[in-house]
Amino acid sequence: METGWLLPDLSDPTSGEFWRGCARGELLVQACAACGTWRMPPRPMCPRCRSTGVRWEASSGHGRIWSFIVPHPPLLPAFGAVAPYNAIVVALDEAPTIRFVGNLVVAADGEINEIDPSTITIGEPVRVVFHQIEDVTLPRWVRA
């Protein structure tokens, strides 16, 4: 079903594996196969040692809110319908410069506008959950 949501191309050669991990319930981080350095967003070469070798490693799925916003219209129709909603940036506990943009929700399949934005604080602990839209599984975050 077409939802009008903006979604990634799952066949993208560089990042497709991240999205396939989400579908399995894993929050993966791209790691250099040669030196082990994590990187986010994914890219074809390690900026530390220039290896093109890649492996995907499971993260803890635990992090802290690094920043957040509350978008209001005008927005694309699918997003305008749930505005105002929150969007957050989460820094992983085990690697604070590995960050993910997401949404803070009450439960995996809740709407992205169910948390009172005035209660969101930078630094609060969150954990990843997963939610399917069309054929894509997106990571989201609940309070830990």
Partner 1 sequence: MARRSSTGLIRNKTAVAGIGQTAFGKGLADTELSLACQAVSSALDDAGIDASEVDGVASYTMEPNREVDVARSVGLGDITWFSQVGFGGGAGCAVVGQAAMAVATGQCSVAVAWRARKRADPTSRPWAQAQARLTDSSQWTRPFGVIRPVDEIALLTRRYMHEYGGTRDHLANIALAFRKHAARNPASTMGHKPLTRDDYMSARWISEPLCLFDNCLETDGALAVVVVSAERARDLKQPPVYIHAFAQGLPPQHQTMTNYFNDDPLRGPAWTAARVMWEMADMTPADVKVAQLYDAFSPLIILSLEGYGFCARGEGGPFTDDGNIEWPNGRLPVNTSGGGMSEAYVHGFNLILEGARQIRGKSTAQVEGADVSLVTSGEGVPTSAILFTKDG
Give CB contacts under 8 A, 24+ apart, made by 117-123: 117/68, 117/70, 117/84, 117/86, 120/65, 120/68, 120/86, 120/88, 121/65, 122/65, 122/66, 122/67, 122/68, 123/64, 123/65
Which of 49, 69, 81, 106 touches partner 1 by CB under 8 A?
Answer: 69
Q: How many CA atoms, within 13 angstroms, populate the side-chain half-sphere of residue 11?
A: 0
Cis omega (within 30 of 0) for bond into 74: yes
Which of 7, 35, 69, 133 touches Zn ion by CB under 5 A?
Answer: 35
138 part of the interface to partner 1, by CB under 8 A: yes
Q: Which is nearer to partner 1, 48 or 55 (CB)?
A: 48
Q: Ramachandran region of residue 134, left (φ > 0), alpha (ψ -120 to 50) or beta? A: left
Q: Please list every residue from 92 through 131 that binds partner 1, using CB under 8 A.
A: 97-103, 112, 117, 122
- Residue 6 partner contact from Zn ion, partner 1, none using kind-dependent CB cut-offs of 5 to 8 Å: partner 1
Which of 22, 27, 28, 46 touches Zn ion by CB under 5 A?
Answer: 46
Which of 31, 34, 87, 142 touches partner 1 by CB under 8 A?
Answer: 87
Q: Of the ranges 30-38, 53-61, 64-72, which one interacts with partner 1 (CB under 8 A)?
A: 64-72
Point out which residues bind Zn ion (CB under 5 A).
32, 34-35, 37, 46, 48-49, 51
